[in-house]
Amino acid sequence: MTTEEDLKQIIKRELPALLQDTEMRRIIVQAVDKYFAGKQETESRFDQILAELRQDREEQRRKWDENQRIWDENQLENQRKWDENQRKWDENQLENQRKWDENQHKLNENEKRIDQTLQEIKRLGNKHDSTIGALGARWGLYTEQSFRNALQGILQDSFNVEVVSITEYDDQGEVFGRPDQIELDLIIQNGTLIIAEIKSSMSKSDMYTFMKKVLFYEKRHQRQATRKLVISPMVHPAALTVAQNLGIDVYSYAEDVDLTNGAATPIS
């Protein structure tokens, strides 16, 4: 008796030969047709799958492009914010630097004004001291030498010059008409010689005497003085006229002396 398993083995063995027969092939195709899709249906389903894949790919690309657009916009916005913050930072830095420079300028100006005020106070103090010293020397409260020493110190401190007091003996009496000691103040500045008379007061005769001292010194040392100065807070009006005629520069205070040129400061 042939079993189902035997029949299956026979079909597997004989089927390739049976498929060579056209009629048998048609019968077999009709028998299995309901289990397999036809060519047209298969092609239709394949096209549908391709269309779905194509649509899905396009959707993925659309999403990708959208995400890329959003990313680019975010990047641009972030760059804009960064640039804006950088601009504000730079502006703040410039403003802070401007305020710093302005405050520094004001500080420097204030320091200059303070220095000028202190110098002016010092100068006025020196003038007052000179005047008081001159009055004291005139009335015997201080010595003339103390007054001269004070003004010599002011000259040296203010102008960085060397002030030398010299005493020489006039054995021919050229200055006073008889042999006597001659006192002069020499101001030395970069090798330039200036002969000065520093006194608490100057009369007309004192001005002539000073000129004689200058001529005596130039003759003895064979050296021409660059300038002739008289520094005195108390000068008689007649003495001023003599000084002008003799080319002598007259100053009331040591601080007023101009050592840069030969122009005298008029006093009244």
**pLDDT tens, per residue, the chain with 268 residues:** 668 787 778 777 877 777 777 877 777 777 766 666 566 666 677 777 777 888 888 888 888 888 888 888 888 888 888 888 888 888 888 888 888 888 888 878 877 876 776 666 556 555 545 454 444 444 343 456 656 666 676 666 666 778 888 899 999 999 999 999 999 888 887 878 888 888 888 899 999 999 999 999 999 999 998 889 888 888 899 999 999 999 999 887 776 777 765 444 444 3
The answer to whether 236 and 204 have CB atoms below 8 angstroms apart is: yes
Question: What domains can be seen in the chain, in order of their start residue?
Answer: 143-256 (3.40.1350.10)
In 3D space, the residue among 200, 191, 204, 209 whose CA is nearest the CA of residue 233 turns out to be 200
In 3D space, the residue among 233, 235, 176, 225 whose CA is nearest the CA of residue 196 turns out to be 225
Residues ≥6 apart with Cβ < 8 Å to 257: 155, 158, 159, 229, 231, 251, 265
Please state, in angstroms and rounded to a whole number, the distance separating the CA atoms of residues 119 and 121: 5
Taking the CB of residue 233, how many other CB atoms lie within 10 A of it?
Answer: 23
Structure tokens at 197: 């008379």
Residues ≥6 apart with Cβ < 8 Å to 268: none
pLDDT at 263: 41
pLDDT at 135: 44
Give bridge partners of residue 231 from the DSSP assignment: 198, 251
pLDDT at 207: 93
pLDDT at 59: 85
The amino acid at residue 197 is E
pLDDT at 154: 65
The answer to whether 200 and 144 have CB atoms below 8 angstroms apart is: yes
